[in-house]
Amino acid sequence: MVAGAIIGKGGETIAQLQKDTGARVKMSKSHDFYPGTTERACLITGSVEGIMVVLDFIMDKIKEKPELVKPFPEGVDAKMPQDRDKQVKILVPNSTAGMIIGKGGNYIKQIKEQSGSYVQISQKAKEVSLQERCITVVGQLESHLTTQPAPHALLMLR
C-alpha cells in the first residue's frame, strides 16, 4: 500500500517528514477506511508551507506506486478525471463547506477558473451522519509551484 511507503519501516519515514516540515501527520489504521471508500485518511496539521511539503511527498509516493492505487468505486461522478495520482481529497467540516462553495457557487467556480483544476465537493451524507464532506481537487501537482493547478487550488481553500 502507498500508506506503508508514507509511514516507512517502523515509522521512520513519517517521523523524519514531521521533523523536517514541522507538520504533524497522522494516518488512519490499516483497515480504517473513510466511509464509502477503500481509502485511508491522512490528517496533516501545521503551517501552509509544511502541509504543502507533506502533500508533495505523499503525491510523489502515489506516483511511484501507481499500481497500488485502487480504482474508483462504483458511483463516482463519471465526469471526474480518473487519474488518482493527480488527485487530492480533502475532508472539511460540514459547517465550512458552504464557505468553500460560496454564494451561488461563486467561490468554487473562482477556484476552478483561477487554478485550472477540477474541483468537486461531495453531497452532504444523508444515510450516514458524517461530520465532514470530501473535496476532490484534480490537476497537476508539481513540487510547490503555486502556479500549478492543484497546489494553487489547495492554497485558495485555506
CA geometry: angle at 50 spanning 65 and 114, to 5°?
80
Q: Are 54 and 61 in contact, with CB atoms under 8 Å apart?
A: no
Measured CA to CA, the distance from residue 95 to residue 78 in angstroms comes to 27
Predicted local confidence at residue 22, as pLDDT:
96
Structural domains in the chain, sorted by start: 2-157 (3.30.310.210)
Measured CA to CA, the distance from residue 61 to residue 58 in angstroms comes to 5
Predicted local confidence at residue 83, as pLDDT:
64
Give the torsion sign (CA, 152, 139, 11, 40).
positive
Q: Model-level pTM?
A: 0.70
User: What is the CA 119 to chain-centroid distance, rounded?
Assistant: 11
Residues of the chain with pLDDT under 70: 1, 65-85, 127, 140-158
Ranges assigned E (strand) in the chain? 24-27, 42-45, 87-93, 118-121, 132-138
